[in-house]
């Protein structure tokens, strides 16, 4: 009897509160500074799980960005074709809609600058080829306008639906000034009064179209963001 009780007595004197449960608790996990130290196999599984989840999230984000940029590229081509074929027949007071500019600005404010740059670059180059205009002039003016829209999006953060509409009006004026300067530099002297007379009507025209387009894009982007958040 004395021999059988010796190990239990020895374990109790070693500082464990229970002679039988102490080895089990040490094998499952120990503590250091209030944080559990998991066994090697459990910790490795957790690290692998976090790594796999991070890789899956990164791959999903890259795929979503690629789809977004592809849609922007296709939309830029369609909008440029509209601007060079149909828009001239929709003139009001000497001003005509600039669909590439409208969608590039709305996309930049609502979705992000990457897609806005795609809209500006591809749409501007195609307009220059079809109009025809000095190659790169429209694209250059649109790229600068998208940059201004990105700054606007960082400064103005309120107004879910009003923000992109106001951006289209303001950036339309900016784009008109830039394009007039670039056009005069590349083509020489052009009637400045005629160009200035169309700035404000063109900006109002674009803002009216943005009033129809912006809510649709804002709703689609919000729905996509909600779906992505539920998936993860």
3-state secondary structure of 20: coil
* Whether the predicted pLDDT of 186 surpasses 80: yes
Q: What is the mean pLDDT of residues 151-166?
A: 94
What is the greatest pairwise CA distance in the chain? 115
Residue % of the chain over a pLDDT of 70: 69
Return d(Cα 22, Cα 7) in angstroms, integer: 13
- Asked if residue 128 lies in contact with residue 122, where contact means CB atoms within 8 angstroms, the answer is no
Residue scoring higher pLDDT (67 or 85): 85
Closest among 196, 181, 183, 119 to 150, alpha carbons compared: 119
Distance of CA 112 to the CA centre of its chain: 3
Taking 90 as the threshold, does the pLDDT of residue 76 lie above it?
A: yes
Q: What's CA 139's distance to the chain center, in Å?
A: 21
Q: Which pTM was predicted?
A: 0.71
C-beta separation of 107 from 70 below 8 A = no
pLDDT band at 147 (very low <50, low <70, confident <90, very high): very high
8 A C-beta contact, residue 183 and residue 134: yes
pLDDT digits 0-9 by tens, 98-121:
999 999 999 999 999 999 999 999
More confident residue, 216 or 194: 216
Q: Residue 65 — pLDDT band, cuts 50, 70, 90?
A: confident
Contact 220, 164 (CB under 8 A): no
C-alpha neighbours within 13 Å on the C-beta side of residue 57: 8
190 pLDDT tier (thresholds 50, 70, 90):
low
For residues 183-199, average pLDDT: 79
Residues whose CB is less than 8 angstroms from the CB of residue 27 and which lie 6 or more positions away in sequence, other chains included:
39
Of 51 and 210, the structure prediction assigns the larger pLDDT to: 210
pLDDT computed for residue 113 by the predictor: 94
Confidence band (pLDDT; 50, 70, 90) for 41? low
Percent helix, strand and coil across the chain, each rounded to 5? 80, 5, 15
């Amino acid at each position: 009897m004395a021999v059988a009780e010796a190990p239990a007595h020895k374990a109790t004197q070693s500082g464990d509160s229970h002679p039988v449960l102490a080895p089990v608790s040490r094998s499952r996990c120990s503590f250091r500074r209030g944080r559990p130290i998991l066994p090697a196999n459990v910790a490795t599984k957790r690290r692998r799980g976090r790594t796999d989840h991070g890789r899956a999230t990164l791959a999903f984000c890259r795929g979503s960005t690629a789809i977004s940029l592809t849609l922007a590229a296709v939309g830029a081509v369609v909008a440029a074709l509209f601007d060079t074929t149909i828009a001239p027949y929709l003139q009001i007071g000497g001003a005509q809609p600039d669909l590439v500019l409208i969608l590039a600005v709305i996309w930049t404010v609502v979705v992000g600058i990457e897609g806005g740059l795609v809209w500006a670059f591809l749409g501007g180059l195609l307009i220059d080829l079809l109009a025809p205009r000095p190659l790169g002039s429209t694209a250059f003016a649109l790229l600068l306008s998208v940059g201004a829209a990105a700054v606007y999006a960082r400064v103005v953060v309120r107004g879910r639906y009003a923000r992109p509409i106001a951006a289209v009006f303001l950036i339309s004026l900016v784009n008109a000034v830039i394009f007039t300067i670039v056009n005069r530099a590349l083509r020489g002297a052009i009637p400045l009064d005629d160009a200035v007379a169309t700035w404000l009507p063109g900006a109002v025209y674009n803002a009216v179209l943005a009033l129809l387009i912006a809510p649709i894009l804002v709703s689609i982007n919000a729905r996509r963001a909600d779906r992505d958040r539920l998936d993860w």
